[in-house]
């Protein structure tokens, strides 16, 4: 009997009252490894943001087991790579839960940061600035930061976008290590083959939840076709949702 780490009940997330994720319910089990898949505009990133607590539901609820430590890796475009700090400082920020805004790094902490660099294969890159890195190296560094965050729930938004096969394989191996350590992982992905090979659970999203469960049951031709059909255009004149007015 596994326990639910996250319980979504009829949750709607959106922008300016327009839903991007519509009436989604479901449970994420502790220790599960779940891929969120779906067409562009399906609300995958929005759902991840909602789970991370970066936006609150328009309606419905999201219940997290109290004390769950969350690490959230957004799509990497948000980073200002011209800002002149070293890769070491960026990665060491993963220890925020220990240092807070003011605390210094202990000898042990510094050692942990160097170890994280080694685990992602970036040893020797500590003093580089962010603008001197390739996209793959930066993604490795962000994974090193995730290692230091030591979170129970790890949320990854398209972690393998624009990443070569070698780096993808390394990052996937790291995700599997986290899975083996009993952490709960939810990742937004586009590559169905990777989802089939590495992610036991899947959630197929097309603004509504099309299917959620074991990946083999979710990734059927029928489900994928339905998902494609369900993506409707954003309607400026949309009426108040019928499910909402009924309740």
Partner 1 sequence: MIFDALIAPFIEFEFMRRALVGCLALSLAAGPVGTFLMLRRMSLFGDAMAHTILPGAALGYLAFGLSLTAMTIGGLATGLLVVLLAGLVTRATRLREDASIAGFYLISLAIGVSIVSLKGSNVDLLRVLFGSILALDDPAMMLLAAMSTGTLLVLALIFRPLVLECVDPAFLRSVSRAGGPAHLIFLALVVTTLVSGFNALGTLLSVGMMMLPAIAARFWAVELTGIIFAATLIGLVSSLCGLILSFHTGLPSGPAIILVAGALYLLSLSFGPQGGLILKLLPQRHLEA
Whole-angstrom distance, CA of residue 27 vs CA of residue 23 = 14
Q: Which residue, 74 or 213, is less far from partner 1 as judged by CB?
A: 74
Residues 62-81 that bind partner 1 (CB under 8 A): 70-72, 74, 78-80
Which of the ranges 6-14, 56-64, 88-96, 110-118 carries the binding residues for partner 1, by CB under 8 A? 88-96
Residues 37-66 that bind partner 1 (CB under 8 A): 52-54
For the CB of residue 221, give the shortest distance to partner 1 in the complex, in Å: 36
For the CB of residue 102, give the shortest distance to partner 1 in the complex, in Å: 7
For the CB of residue 138, give the shortest distance to partner 1 in the complex, in Å: 11
Q: Which residue, 102 or 107, is less far from partner 1 as judged by CB?
A: 102
Binding residue for partner 1, selected from 17, 97, 166, 196, defined by CB under 8 A:
97
Do 160 and 171 touch, CB atoms closer than 8 A? yes
Binding residue for partner 1, selected from 2, 67, 102, 245, defined by CB under 8 A:
102
Count of residues near partner 1 by CB under 8 A? 28
Do 96 and 105 touch, CB atoms closer than 8 A? no
Rama region for 55: left / alpha / beta (φ>0; ψ in -120 to 50; rest): beta
Q: Which residue, 148 or 204, is less far from partner 1 as judged by CB?
A: 148
Whole-angstrom distance, CA of residue 133 vs CA of residue 224 = 37
Residues 163-192 that bind partner 1 (CB under 8 A): none
Residues 127-146 that bind partner 1 (CB under 8 A): 129-130, 145
Whole-angstrom distance, CA of residue 139 vs CA of residue 154 = 15
Which residue is it, tokens 């494609």? 228
Coil, strand or helix: which one is 47? helix
Q: For residue 2, what is the DSSP state?
A: P
Burial class (CB in 10 A: 0-12, 13-18, 19+), 132: exposed
Q: Which residue, 10 or 89, is less far from partner 1 as judged by CB?
A: 89
């Amino acid at each position: 009997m596994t326990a639910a780490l996250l319980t979504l009940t009829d949750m709607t997330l959106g922008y300016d009252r327009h839903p991007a994720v519509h009436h989604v319910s479901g449970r994420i089990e502790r220790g599960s490894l779940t891929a969120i898949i779906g067409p562009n505009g399906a609300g995958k990133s929005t759902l991840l943001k909602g789970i991370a607590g970066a936006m609150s539901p328009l309606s419905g609820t999201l219940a997290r087991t109290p004390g769950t430590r969350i690490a959230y890796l957004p799509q990497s475009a948000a980073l200002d790579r011209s800002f002149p700090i070293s890769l070491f400082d960026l990665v060491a920020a993963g220890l925020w839960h220990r240092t807070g805004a003011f605390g210094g790094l202990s000898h042990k902490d510094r050692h942990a940061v160097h170890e994280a660099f080694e685990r992602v294969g970036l040893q020797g890159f500590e003093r580089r600035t962010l603008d001197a890195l390739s996209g793959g190296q930066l993604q490795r560094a962000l994974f090193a930061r995730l290692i230091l965050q030591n979170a129970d729930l790890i949320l990854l938004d398209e972690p393998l976008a624009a990443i070569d096969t070698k780096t993808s394989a390394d990052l996937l191996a790291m995700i599997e290590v986290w899975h083996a350590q009993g952490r709960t992982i939810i990742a937004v992905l586009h590559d169905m083959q990777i989802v089939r090979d590495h992610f036991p659970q899947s959630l197929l999203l097309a603004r509504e939840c099309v299917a959620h469960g074991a990946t083999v049951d979710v990734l059927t031709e029928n489900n994928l076709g339905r998902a494609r059909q369900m993506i409707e255009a954003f309607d400026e004149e949309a009426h108040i949702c019928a499910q909402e007015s009924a309740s």
